[in-house]
Structure 1
Amino acid sequence: MEPVQPDYSVLIDILRTKMPFGKHKGILIADLPVSYLEWMHRNGGMPPGKLGMMLSTIHEIKINGMMSILYELRKRLEAAERRY
């Protein structure tokens, strides 16, 4: 079985998109506290569409201890933005 490769476009969106509503409005989705993501998951689930997919993805990343994926990608994005 081949290892699963992350969809970097989704991860980049998670690192650049801010939460559009609620208690954590304006916070980058990647920086939302896991307690908030768990609360959303328990209380009706994630919203539909792309936002819900990003919230579900970051929830899975955080509860499974895989934040190192985002740390490295964030460093690379920040370095690329400093060059331009």
Structure 2
Amino acid sequence: MTNQEQLIKLAHAKMPFGKYEGRYLIDLPEHYLVWYQGKGFPKGQLGEQLKLVYELQLNGLEELVRNIRRNFPKP
């Protein structure tokens, strides 16, 4: 999967469970991602996506992913 494909998929990914179920991953609160960073991210694709969201939020790049969601259809 290319970086572009990965970002498009991330832009449309939603939290599948818990308090924030149904919320776009990029819109998860920072404190929740920091908690996962300390606890350990889940295994698999969700964990990889949450790590990426953490890094994007850390660097203030959330709007980049939101723009992708608005401009590219769901894969």
User: What is the RMSD computed on CA atoms of the aligned residues?
Assistant: 1.9
Runs of 4+ in 1 over 4 A off after TM superposition: none
Residue of structure 2 equivalent to 1:71: 66
Residue of structure 2 equivalent to 1:14: 10
Identity across the alignment (%): 34
The whole-number CA distance in structure 2 between the counterparts of 1:28 and 1:71 is: 9
- CA drift of 1:41 comes to 1.1
Larger RCO (alpha carbons 8 Å, 6+ apart): 2
Amino acid across the alignment from 2:38: R
**Runs (5+) with no aligned partner, structure 1:** 1-5
Residue 54 in structure 1 maps to residue 56 in structure 2: no
Q: Quick check: which has more Rg, 1 or 2?
A: 1
TM-score (norm 1): 0.73
Identify the match of residue 25 of structure 1 among 13, 18, 21. 21
- CA drift of 1:75 comes to 2.9
Identify the match of residue 34 of structure 1 among 30, 50, 53. 30
